Amino acid sequence: MLSQNSIVSPLLGVFNDSFPPVMDGVSVATKNYAYWLQKKTGHACVITPRCPESTDNEPYPIYRYTSFPIPFRKPYRYGIPYVDRGFINKMYQLSFKLVHAHCPFSSGTVAMKIARRQGIPIVATFHSKYRSDFERVIPNKFVVDLIIKNIMKFYEMADEVWIPQADVEETIREYGFKGHVEVVDNGSDLYIDETKQVLRQQARNELGIPEDENVFLFVGQHIWEKNTALLIKTLDSLGDFPFKMFFIGTGYAEKEMKMMVNNRHLSDKVTFVGQLVDRQLLTQYYAASDLFLFPSMYDNAPLVVREAAALQTPSLLLKDSTSSGIIRDGFNGFLSYDQPEYFATSIKNIVRRKQRMQEVGYIASRTIARPWNDIIDEVIDRYSNIISRKNLLSRKCV
């Protein structure tokens, strides 16, 4: 087991291309990995692109490198670490015990180079459906296939490949990866100290939401890949059914989503909150909501579903989506079909049985959500085994 005693100087490096103030599920996971690794070992750091809005004030070092905004993909950054001489010099001065890449792009290439240069293990987690991102901006299938092939080469070079949910294996196999994968769950840093109803009432008072309002929530990138168009069409299909809907996040489709809402005369029912970095405020929105709506076929293992579950708010997802692999319909969540009318009917049926909806939310909190504190204990144990195997292999090769 890694501990403060076993790690005197070498760092555990957590690498990702997004990190607060750029917010998404992998960004939040990266931050929690670093926070809990630092708390439990005393020697963690984050490597990520530089962001103009960043004001890093974390209990662990954050090493940022030169980047520029990705066109049509706000707020994401394209990192160019190898033109940043100061950053590269700093990386050469640091000693690492293990590096963990949470994406295969600029930060991942830095992690891989450090691992090869220092002869240490590299773990790579496959979080996202990268093909969908590239297909949106590159119309040439041959080029997209080539990009995906190169991404899979990155994972093939890792000492161990992790996926955050068992169903994600189908995606990485579809992309051409043939190696072994390990399932290591993501956690949640949100939790309930009191009963759901007490927190719900407090949250609604703070947010100015009436007690008897049906409240729905979406948290995530405002992009079409997450089926946000279906979600807005669903809200339109609800007709006279009373509700209040909150969208939290940002993305390239935000402006068009707002136009869609306006064109359907839903503006009095739908609020775009924007991106939330304040986790306490985000907790209030989860707690105030009756149902978390997440009709995405794009996501692998969305952290937001686990966060909603941690606040005893059940989720409605799509049948046969990768995200829905952790859901048993009517037990710890709800499933519907990829059509607005079906999705709207499901919402009505769920909300009309409030006690059952609340029971499902409670079960979700017990079966889906795990605190990051527990997850990182497992992570540290896995790191220790990987390091031991790497050291044993190195001795055999001498």
For the stretch 262-301, pLDDT in tens is 999 999 999 999 999 999 999 999 999 999 999 999 999 9
* Three-state secondary structure call for residue 218: strand
Domain 11-187+371-397 identical in fold to domain 196-367: yes
pLDDT in tens, 215-249: 999 999 999 999 999 999 999 999 999 999 999 99
- The per-residue pLDDT for 3 is 45
Cα–Cα distance, 169 to 306 (Å, whole number): 19
pLDDT at 195 over 90: no
- Rounded to an integer, the average pLDDT of 249-253 is 94
Of 155 and 196, the one with more pLDDT: 155
Fold of 11-187+371-397: Rossmann fold (3.40.50)
Domain extent listing, the chain: 11-187+371-397, 196-367
Looking at per-residue pLDDT, the higher value among 394 and 216 belongs to 216
Q: What angle separates helix 25-41 from helix 303-310, to the nearest 10 degrees?
A: 70
Q: What is the pLDDT of residue 71?
A: 84
Place 67 in a pLDDT band, splitting at 50, 70 and 90.
Answer: very high
Which residues are CB-neighbours of 316 under 8 A, at least 6 positions away?
291, 292, 293, 294, 295, 333, 334, 335, 336, 343, 346, 347, 350
Give the pLDDT score at 196.
81
H or E segment at 349? helix 340-351
> What pLDDT, in 10s, does the model give residues 71-113?
878 889 999 999 999 999 999 999 999 999 999 999 999 999 9
The CATH architecture that domain 196-367 belongs to is 3-Layer(aba) Sandwich (3.40)
Is the pLDDT assigned to residue 378 strictly greater than 80?
Answer: yes
Bridge partners of residue 183, in order along the sequence = 163
Q: pLDDT value at position 233? A: 98
The answer, yes or no, to whether residue 24 has pLDDT greater than 90, is yes
Give the pLDDT mean for 345-372: 96
Mean pLDDT of 148-169: 97
pLDDT at residue 254, rounded to an integer: 96
Mean residue pLDDT of the chain comes to 94
